[in-house]
């Protein structure tokens, strides 16, 4: 279906519920609250259905009216599969009327579905929908859309970023949106636990192959002792790979006693997948993984030895 058709449907509906995905991110919330603000500004009843709203995203609800109504129409945003509805699955999995997403892999089987896999963020699609609906992009709406675009592109750094991404960002900037605060909160702020984790990870860091390789390890003990949650661990696999001169970075994650999930990240065309295949794993050229069992030192030496041969 076309954007025009999506907008025609939305114009004709009222009492709209907007579904966001579980393990939520800036894009699903950005889509949800931006669309909600737009629909409410058209005089419609609308609400965003969230599983939970982490405090760092609360600012996105600014200007959203709490409206009491019986839902009549359900839209899912940035949700690639019904399994991502989390605790909302039971209530909503069979009653989604419209699906708006940017995941090429989208597996939600309904008639009214708009998927643009070229969009770096689903918020790029919502931006076009809001324009097509003839709604003015307020600073509040812009903050939501900018948050989705910035988080899904790593602040315009990831390969999914396009010229269109920057052109939309430019339009959002003109509303006076809070891009500086948003990026600081999304990218620069570290939890105290994360700081402790990095300190401990650096203590485990070992270089090999004349500094072309680096390895770190997260032990179960570390996670427990520092009381680390999943958000704190996000992206740690890239820590070794981002060190100057390192072309093959290994992260050992202890999953249970003497059992490790190995994440490998590479630079300069070193094939991470080929390396992991040696241990029955695989993945992409620059990011792959495998599993290994054994004593910490044994597993580590095994990885280092074969990485030295591989590089």
In three state form, how does the secondary structure of 135-156 look? Answer: CCCCHHHHHHHHHHHHHHCCCC
Whole-number Å distance between alpha carbons of 68 and 13: 16
Q: Which of residues 136-155 bind its own copies (CB under 8 A)?
A: 155
Which one, 80 or 121, has the nearer CB to its own copies? 121
Site mask for its own copies (CB under 8 A), range 192-231, x = bound: x--xx-xx--xx-x-x---x--------------------
21 contact partners, CB below 8 Å, separation of at least 6: 28, 78, 79, 80, 84, 85, 86
Site mask for its own copies (CB under 8 A), range 231-270, x = bound: -------x---xxxx-------------------------
Q: What are phi and psi of 37, to 5 degrees?
A: -60, -40
- Residue 180 is a binding residue for its own copies (CB under 8 A): yes
Compute the least distance from the CB of residue 119 to its own copies, in Å. Answer: 15
**Measured on CA atoms in the order 142, 97, 22, 68, is the torsion positive or negative?**
positive
Whole-number Å distance between alpha carbons of 29 and 144: 7
Which one, 21 or 194, has the nearer CB to its own copies? 194
Nearest to 79 by CA among 129, 14, 132, 22: 22
Q: Which residue of 81, 173, 225, 234 would you call a contact of its own copies, by CB under 8 A?
A: 173
Which one, 68 or 180, has the nearer CB to its own copies? 180
Record the tokens describing residue 215, joined without a space.
Answer: 């390895």
Which one, 116 or 171, has the nearer CB to its own copies? 171
Q: Which parts of this chain interact with its own copies (CB under 8 A)? A: 155-159, 161-167, 169-171, 173-174, 179-180, 183-184, 187-192, 195-196, 198-199, 202-203, 205, 207, 211, 238, 242-245
């Amino acid at each position: 279906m076309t954007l025009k058709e999506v907008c025609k449907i939305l114009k004709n509906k009222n009492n709209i519920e907007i579904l966001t995905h579980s393990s939520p991110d800036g894009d699903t919330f950005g889509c949800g609250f931006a669309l909600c603000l737009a629909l409410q500004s058209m005089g419609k009843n609308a609400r965003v259905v969230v599983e939970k709203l982490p405090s760092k995203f609360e600012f996105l609800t600014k200007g959203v009216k709490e409206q009491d109504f019986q839902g009549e129409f359900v839209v899912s945003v940035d949700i690639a599969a019904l399994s991502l509805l989390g605790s909302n699955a039971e209530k909503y999995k069979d009653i989604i009327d419209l699906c708006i997403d940017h995941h090429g892999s989208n597996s939600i089987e309904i008639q009214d579905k708009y998927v643009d896999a070229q969009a770096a963020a689903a918020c790029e699609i919502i931006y076009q929908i809001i324009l097509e609906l003839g709604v003015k992009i307020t600073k509040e709406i812009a903050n939501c859309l900018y948050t989705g675009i910035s988080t899904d592109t790593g602040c315009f750094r990831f390969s999914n970023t396009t010229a269109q991404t920057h052109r939309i960002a430019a339009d959002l900037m003109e509303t006076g949106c809070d891009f500086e605060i948003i990026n600081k909160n999304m990218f620069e702020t570290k939890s105290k636990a994360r700081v402790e984790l990095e300190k401990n990870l650096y203590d485990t860091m070992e270089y090999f192959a004349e500094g072309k390789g680096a390895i770190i390890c997260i032990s179960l003990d570390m996670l427990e002792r520092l009381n680390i949650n999943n958000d704190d661990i996000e992206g740690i696999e890239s820590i070794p790979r981002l060190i100057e001169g390192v072309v093959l970075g290994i992260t050992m994650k202890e999953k249970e006693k003497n059992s490790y999930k190995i994440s490998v990240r590479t630079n300069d065309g070193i094939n991470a997948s080929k390396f992991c295949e040696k241990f029955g794993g695989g993945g992409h050229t620059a990011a792959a993984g495998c599993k290994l069992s054994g004593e910490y030192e044994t597993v580590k030496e095994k990885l280092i030895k074969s990485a030295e041969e591989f590089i």
